[in-house]
Structure 1
Amino acid sequence: MSKHGGNPDRIFVGGHSAGGHLAAMLALELDALEASGMPRDVLKACFPVSGVFDLTGRDEERLGPLLKSPSDAPAASPILLVVGNRTPFLFAIGEIDFPELIPQSHAMADALRNQSGAVELMNMPDEDHFIISLEGGNPDGSWVTRVREWMLNTPTN
């Protein structure tokens, strides 16, 4: 990474919707990071937006395209992987996002607050699941501004 101008001590991950789910999985699957040859603390913060964090309790029809079997749901649920987390998380959820996602973001943030990493949840007024995704392209928007602050102020190794 350094040879391309990047700083390996300043790696952050984020995503919207399924990308928010995958970003959280990446930040919390510490054994997978280690197995890939990366240190457990390689990610300095995670920025999920409108993510799904608990796949348990969903019907098989909805899980079908996502998992091989409903029995895989716990392992694919970031909310069940929070124990021992030290990675800071900044969540964003639209005030008028899909109804099932709003409590998931709140529950995930609450679960992480019982761990040692910093946690913040931004409730974005008047934003639905699609409008909030556009916030990532607004350099002067509240979400990008807050992410920038987190990136500048998050300690490195």
Structure 2
Amino acid sequence: MIRQFIKTLFGSLSALTLTACSPVTLLNAMVPESAYQHRSDLVYGEYDRLKLDVYQPAHSVDSQKPATVIFFYGGGWEAGEKADYKFVAEALTSQGMIVVIPDYRVFPEAVFPEFIEDAAQAVAWTRQHIAEFGGDPEQLFIAGHSAGAHIAAMLSVNPHYLQQAGLETEQLRGMIGLAGPYDFLPLTSPTLKQIFGDDASQWQSQPVNFVGEDHPPTLLLVGNNDRTVLPRNSYRFAEKLKQYGNDVELIELSNYGHVAMVAKLAKPLRGDGALLAPIVSFVELHRH
């Protein structure tokens, strides 16, 4: 999905490169590496895919230890590679944050809720080890795009998953969701039905069904031109969070489609920073 979007944007430029060079590789090659130091393929669980990358800012922006953002990529719960999201890491490390990008099991290797459980393990690993990278384990944020936003939301509103990993949701400083599916029943896709199980149990996969009081602060970003994950997912989730008195902010970005809601974090596509700026402001507001 993100590869196709970037291929469209950079079609003429890609034609000048070797055919083996994918559009995402090309985009990441245009992202400056001076903003971060990088450690890759750190093992956080027992399955082959359970590895993560840590990006440290090259330069501190203030005297505090940096906040850490754990970013879960999208891909319909059946695709995705952490290496494709170096541009996300550059965007956030350039603002002084540490960024952790985990791989997690996807369909058909895993079905719901196994990828949520993987994500919880990644958060637990980060809390245990982030001080080794100059971070503060008390300053953890989770974030995600599309299916990754769904994963982050489930960790935020359903304490079961973090508790399994020895954590509590109160140990998160906030959740950032970009174009996330939070209230997406009924399912029509045969693949999604395999991923999320029979009709009687699918309700358990919906973040909106677990909203109560005292969730971590939440930032929801949505593109009003998104036809893949309809904006109503974010509107309904925000409304439910507000109904229970939670701290939630929803920002709508005009003319942003689904993949633009992550691709426009990349420096070559960032423009005026309309997507990055509210993320930075949210982290700064809640990192105390």
User: Same fold by TM-score, threshold 0.5 exceeded?
Assistant: yes
Out of 180, 183, 201, the position equivalent to 1:51 is 180
Corresponding residue of 2:123? none
* Alignment length (residue pairs): 156
Corresponding residue of 1:70? 199
Structure 1: which 5+ residue stretches go unaligned? none
Q: CA RMSD in A?
A: 2.0
Answering whether residue 278 of structure 2 is matched by residue 149 of structure 1, we say: no
Tell whether the 8 Å contact from 1:17 to 1:52 is kept in structure 2 after alignment.
yes
**Scaled by the length of structure 1, what TM-score is found?**
0.88
- Runs ≥4 in structure 1, deviation > 3 angstroms? none
Distance in 2, Cα, partners of 1:109 & 1:135: 23
Of structures 1 and 2, the one with the larger relative CO (CA 8 A, separation 6+) is: 1
What letter corresponds to residue 235 of structure 2 in structure 1? Answer: H
Corresponding residue of 2:235? 106
Per-residue CA deviations over 1:104-155 (Å, capped at 9, x if unaligned) read: 1101110001123311111111111122221232465122111111111115
Tell whether the 8 Å contact from 1:14 to 1:48 is kept in structure 2 after alignment.
yes
Tell whether the 8 Å contact from 2:143 to 2:176 is kept in structure 1 after alignment.
yes
The Cα of 1:99 is off from its aligned counterpart by 6.7
Distance in 1, Cα, partners of 2:204 & 2:141: 23
Are residues 115 and 76 of structure 1, via their aligned partners in 2, closer, same or farther at CA, if it must alter by over 3 Å? same
Tell whether the 8 Å contact from 1:50 to 1:129 is kept in structure 2 after alignment.
yes
Larger radius of gyration: 2
Corresponding residue of 1:127? 256
**Scaled by the length of structure 2, what TM-score is found?**
0.50
Per-residue CA deviations over 1:67-117 (Å, capped at 9, x if unaligned) read: 132323111100001112421111111111017521111011100011233
Q: Secondary structure at the match of 2:252?
A: strand
Tell whether the 8 Å contact from 1:86 to 1:115 is kept in structure 2 after alignment.
no
Q: Secondary structure at the match of 2:264?
A: helix
Corresponding residue of 1:28? 157
Q: Secondary structure at the match of 2:220?
A: strand
The Cα of 1:10 is off from its aligned counterpart by 0.9
Among all aligned residue pairs of Structure 1 and Structure 2, give the percentage whose two residues are the same amino acid: 23
What letter corresponds to residue 147 of structure 1 in structure 2? Answer: I
Answering whether residue 148 of structure 2 is matched by residue 16 of structure 1, we say: no
Answering whether residue 210 of structure 2 is matched by residue 81 of structure 1, we say: yes
Tell whether the 8 Å contact from 1:60 to 1:70 is kept in structure 2 after alignment.
no
